[in-house]
Structure formats: structure tokens, C-alpha cells
Chain A
């Protein structure tokens, strides 16, 4: 499938119907998942209604990581096989991942205020997500700073892979650090197992985020390819 789509012409044909389809799928899943999560799912016995933030927060956290892994894979393909579409895919996914990380941080902060009694806690997971967000920003900044697009793609791919190797190390050290500093009173260790009735809306929302990511990334890629075609046409026009 991937090698079939590696041809830009076939990719454009595929994405012309896949992007809108995924967008409709995302809309549908949000239309089901949001009311289910926000209105019809049970409230938590301890957190009450605030637990509903989880349905927006947790999928954002999952896919902020998932998108980075996707970018790592695309960067690897782009570096090794020098494939333009892989470069474009990594670049197209980055803003979506950065926004997911930002959504995760903001909703986490909103969730922390009523449940932990603070807007921000230097908890291990919050801190690693913040680091991931900064890595996304650095990746995007490098892309826009290097003028030659092909060079920017390769350099950003190297950076992305370095980040991929580093993420587990950062995760491990931040966990070690937060257990050292974190007073155990704020984070409740209980409530780790989620009630089955919450799984349905949670996974629906996760699916909605994934479909949204697919739709946005495909549209971003199409926009990038169209822009390159326009630039190439302009060059040809200038030469003639």
C-alpha cells in the first residue's frame, strides 16, 4: 500500500477522496463521541463532572505521541530512500501533533485546577508533554528557518530522529525527577483502573482524533504538493 502510494500522482488520486472521507469520519465520530463523553457517560465517583475533561485530554496526549512516532517513521523513510512524499508527510503532520500537545497541556491545566487544586503541577507526565511540545516547536522552527526546502526536509528529519531516540531518555529522567520531588499528597494513586462504561466514549474520541489527524495531514500534504507544482510551473514560465 505504502509503495503503491509512493507515486505522487497516485497519492493525489488517493488523497483526493481519502482526505474528505476522513474528515467526514472525524466529524461523525466527534458527533457521536462528544455528546456521549460530555453528557451521557457516568460522572466519576470522586472527581464528579470534571472527569469529562479526560475525553478531550487523554486522546490528545496519545496522538501527540503517536504523531511524533509517525513523523519519526516518515523522517526515516525520507532520509534513507530520499522520498519527497515522506518529507512532505513529516512536515504536514508536525503542526497537527504540536496542536495535540498544546490541547493536552491546556486541558490538563484546566483539569488540574479543580482536581489537584492547582493550574500547573510539575508532575512527570505534564513535564514530559511540555518537553515534547517544545521539541515540536523546534522542529517547525528549523523547517521554516532553512530556505532550501529539500535541505530543510533532511535536516528536520535528522532532528526528528534525534528527538525520537531522546524521548524515552527524557521520559525516564523526568519520571525519576518527579518521584524525587513530587509530594505524594497531590496526585492520588487510586482510580487508575477506568470503569468500562468510560471506555466507549474514550475510544470513540481517540478514533475521532485519529481521523482528524489523517484528514488534516492529507490535506496539508496536498496543499504542499500543489504549492510545489505552482512553483515549478512559475519557474518554467519564467524560463520560457
Chain B
């Protein structure tokens, strides 16, 4: 358990200290800003299309953080240390994923509130949008771990990660946008939670299998 906590705190500190929070937040706000510029500022149009577009911006912002997630560990040898540790690699990968979820996922979900308001989402729906975004981040990160792990050895693998991971973003995007649009909020939120739990449970297993190959 302690190896889990150490990895979690190490990644937390690395991402927080390395300015890893600001870049995805800035990306998210920039992408959100472009939405009304592309669609026009009409209130009615934004009201229907804006909140789901917050989801697109958030998905892309998380995607941008994945490239270096395991690549840095592979380059500086921390991955080998993790493999030597008595704790299973799956647990350490989960710790890294959860750290990313806290350092990047939580601020992005909170930033979803002003973004959704700016895109004319009804104010009474903001709370549930933030909660659903945070759950969706867990689903994105769980799948993203696999994408980051299989491409860890590829130089400039950012676009490759996007191509690999984006199709698997379909379920959380679908149910998350349903929440944001106010359609069948209860069931959609329940399935979104299921997506998040399944991704966090299964993602680290596949990611760890890929990382063992990367270190060979």
C-alpha cells in the first residue's frame, strides 16, 4: 500500500510542481473560447450545442497530458524501479492514473463550470455538469493509460495516442454530453460512473502489460 501512496504523491508533486496543471487548463479554456467564434454567438444555438462541446474540449485537454505520462518514466529509469518494486505494476499505474485524475481531472472539471456558463448552459445544471465531467475524466484517464503505455516508446507519439484513444472516448462522451444537455440525467450519470469504474479497473491491467514490454 505504501508503494501506491509514494507513487501517487510523487506524481502529484511532479505534475503540480512542473506546471502540468496550467497547460491543460489553458488548452481547455482556449478551445472553449473558439466554440462561439466558430458557431456564432446566438444564444439559442449555443444553449443547445455549447454544453456538449465543453465535453469535447475537456477530452482533448486530457489527451494532451497523456503523451509524457509514461514516456518520462521510461526515459529516466523510474519505470525500471517500478518494475523492481514488490508492489504490482498495475497498482502503481493506477496510482499514477489517480494522481492525474486529481491534478488535471479535478481542475478541468471545475473549470467546466465557468466554461459551461459562458456557453449558455442553464445555471441550475452547472453542479451536475461539474460532477459528470470529473467522472468522465476518470473514464478518459483509465483508457488513456492504455494509449499512453502502448506508445511510451514512440517518439512524438502525441498524434498516435489521439488516434488510438479517441474511439474509446465514445461511451463517456455520449453519456457525459447527455448529462450536459439535460437528457435522462439519472441513468446517464449512472452509466458514466460505470464507464469510469470499468476504465479505472481494467485500464491499469492492460497498461501494465504494455509497460512490461516497453521496459524489456
Are the CB atoms of A174 and B174 closer together than 8 Å? yes
Within 8 A of B (CB), among A144-181: 145-146, 151, 154-156, 158-159, 161-163, 165-166, 169-170, 172-174, 176-177, 180
Range for the number of chain B residues in contact with chain A: 20 to 34
Kindly provide the distance from the CB of A157 to the nearest chain B CB, expressed in whole angstroms: 9
CB neighbours (8 Å) of A154 from chain B are 210, 213
Q: Chain B interface: which of A58-66, A135-143, A202-210?
A: A135-143
Contacting pair B163 A134 (CB below 8 A): yes
**30 cross-chain CB contacts under 8 A:** A79-B209, A131-B170, A137-B163, A138-B167, A141-B163, A141-B164, A142-B150, A142-B151, A142-B160, A145-B151, A145-B154, A145-B157, A151-B153, A151-B213, A151-B216, A155-B214, A156-B150, A158-B150, A158-B206, A161-B206, A162-B206, A165-B202, A166-B143, A170-B167, A170-B168, A173-B171, A173-B175, A173-B191, A180-B183, A180-B184
Whether the pair B160, A158 counts as a contact (CB closer than 8 A) is no
Roughly how many angstroms separate A155 CA and B153 CA in the complex, as a whole number? 11
* Nearest CB of A to B93, in Å: 13
Interface residue B146 (Cβ < 8 Å from any Cβ of A): yes
Tell me the complex Cα distance, A174–B216, Å: 38
* Bound CA–CA A170/B199 (angstroms): 13
B178 in the interface, Cβ–Cβ < 8 Å?
yes
Q: Does B60 contact A (CB under 8 A)?
A: no
Return chain A residues, CB-CB under 8 Å to B163.
134, 137-138, 141
Interface residues of B in 112-162 (CB under 8 A from A): 143, 146, 150-151, 153-154, 157, 160
Min Cβ gap A81→B in Å is 15
Point out the residue from B143, B168, B191, B210 that lies within 8 Å of A155, measured CB to CB.
B210
State A134–B157 Cα separation when bound (angstroms). Answer: 17
Residue of B nearest to A176 (CB): B174
Let me know if B69 is at the binding interface, CB within 8 A: no
Query: For window 101-148 of chain A, which residues contact chain B by CB distance below 8 Å?
Result: 131-132, 134-135, 137-138, 141-142, 145-146
Contacts of A146 in B (CB 8 A): 153-154
- Provide the bound-state CA to CA distance between A131 and B165, in Å: 11
Q: How far is the CA of A146 from the CA of B216 in the complex (A)?
A: 14
Contacts of B167 in A (CB 8 A): 131-132, 134-135, 138, 163, 170
Encode contact with A along B171-194: 1 for CB under 8 Å, 0 otherwise: 100110010000110000001000
Interface residues of A (CB under 8 A from B): 79, 131-132, 134-135, 137-138, 141-142, 145-146, 151, 154-156, 158-159, 161-163, 165-166, 169-170, 172-174, 176-177, 180
Closest to A181 in B: B183
- Interface contact A138-B206, CB-CB below 8 Å: no
- Asked if A141 and B174 make an inter-chain contact with CB atoms under 8 angstroms apart, the answer reads no
Q: Counting CB contacts under 8 A, is B111 at the interface?
A: no
CA gap between A135 and B195 in the complex, in Å: 19
Q: CB-CB < 8 A to B146: which residues of A? A: 158-159, 162
Residue of chain B at shortest CB distance from A166: B168
Q: In angstroms, how far is the closest chain A Cβ from the Cβ of B84? A: 20
Chain B neighbourhood of A141, CB < 8 A: 160, 163-164
Identify the 5 closest CB pairs spanning chains A and B, nearest first.
A138-B164, A173-B171, A177-B174, A155-B150, A134-B167
Residue in contact with B209 in the complex, picked from A135, A138, A158, A166, CB distance below 8 Å: A158
CA distance A169 to B143 in the complex (A): 13
Select one of B160, B171, B178, B213 contacting A170, CB under 8 A. Answer: B171
The residue that B171 contacts in the complex, of A151, A159, A169, with Cβ under 8 A, is A169
Minimal beta-carbon separation of A109 from chain B (angstroms):
19
**B110 at interface, CB cutoff 8 A:** no
A177-B188 Cα distance, complex, nearest whole Å: 10
Give the docked Cα–Cα distance between A132 and B166 (Å): 11
**In the complex, how many angstroms separate the beta carbon of B11 from the nearest chain A beta carbon?**
22
Contact at A174–B178, with CB atoms within 8 Å? Answer: no
